[in-house]
Amino acid sequence: MNSSDDASDLFQPYQLGSLTLANRIVMAPLTRSRAGVGDVPTPLMATYYTQRASAGLIITEASQISPQGKGYIQTPGIYSPAQIGGWKQVTEAVHAQGGKIVIQLWHVGRISHPELQEGGARPVAPSAVLPVGQVFTGRGMVDMVTPRALELNEIPGIIADYRQAAINAREAGFDGVEIHAANGYLLDQFLRDKTNRRTDRYGGSIDNRARLLLEVTDAVLEAWEKDRVGVRLSPLSPSNDIDDSDPQPLFTQVVRELSQRGIGFLHVVEGVTGGPRDTGHPFQLATLRPLFAGTYLANNGYTRDLALAARATDSADLIAFGKLFIANPDLVERLRRNAPLNEPDQTTFYGGDEHGYTDYPCLDSSG
């Protein structure tokens, strides 16, 4: 490190509620599609996460709360006893290395396909709006279909699935949970007026469109202490054909409501998920952090320099890295030393074996 980096607290411990993190660097949730039969986490997944246990906090890949919540092949679940057992092997291995790990709870909503649903059912969504795009199934990439709009009497069951998934996460030994309300999946679909055309108490006004996320959050808080719960949002990302006509008041209200509930952290994708940070949209991301009383976790396209600058200006408490963690299991040490970084092999991001997963080299011990 050069002298200007020495004063940065990026590499110093951070207190996230009752959790003491070794540093302020977070491993972002990254879908890797390497779960086993029954969407059960495997020993190879335990190796992958353990290699990255030097992160201050690991947020696991998104994990479906029910069979209906699945949108891609070989993504892990957190609803069956076998899945709980598979995840327990992961958490025990990470904890043995001194790491902290939370699970991201996921329902994809319309971003699925009948081939991935039990009995070939149509995916569900707030409204029957066809998403433009494709989804990865057992026979490759296929066009998505028009989803089925959820009936009002089905929504309590989905909330209950989130509550049970949170309970299961505790049984699996996680340090907390993150509710995935970003990137155009189910909770984001309810938030945005492009995908939510409902006329009942879950559609129309901002309060109504935010209702499901807040009810899910309340349900998860029945299973976990407030400081062990986070929510992920992506106000500007068009991922999975999502959009809103006026996102500023929507996400202002959502963040205020989440803050009032006292959750531990807010995880914000700044810009386009996996894409540019600057979208040209008039939405003011900087307005969100002052609205939230807990820990603000910033994500998307962060480099070492951007992370150091974020801490120098206190624009974020924690910084999440995604693709860099794929290729650099020892990313924290590489950032600390300002050492060269391995380049990720994008052809191995989704599915496969240990190649491009657990075989990236670490720095040698001599540095």
Supply the residues annotated as catalytic.
185
81-96 and 155-171 helices, crossing angle to 10°: 40
Distance CA 350, CA 233 (A): 23
Distance CA 74, CA 219 (A): 27
DSSP 175: S
Distance CA 74, CA 96 (A): 26
- Beta strand extents in 132-264 (DSSP E only): 134-137, 140-143, 148-149, 177-180, 229-233
Taking Cα atoms as reference points, which of 121, 120, 150, 116 lies closest to residue 134? 116
Taking Cα atoms as reference points, which of 358, 332, 266, 354 lies closest to residue 13? 332
The two three-digit tokens of residue 41, written as one number: 């986490």
Distance CA 45, CA 19 (A): 23
Neighbours of 241 (CB within 10 A): 17
Return left, alpha or beta for 171; rule: phi > 0 is left, psi -120 to 50 is alpha, else beta. Answer: alpha
Return left, alpha or beta for 278; rule: phi > 0 is left, psi -120 to 50 is alpha, else beta. Answer: beta
Distance CA 90, CA 101 (A): 9
* Residue pair 56/307 in contact by the 8 Å Cβ criterion: no
Distance CA 97, CA 153 (A): 45
List, in order, residues 6 or more apart from 151 with CB less than 8 Å away: none
Distance CA 138, CA 108 (A): 17
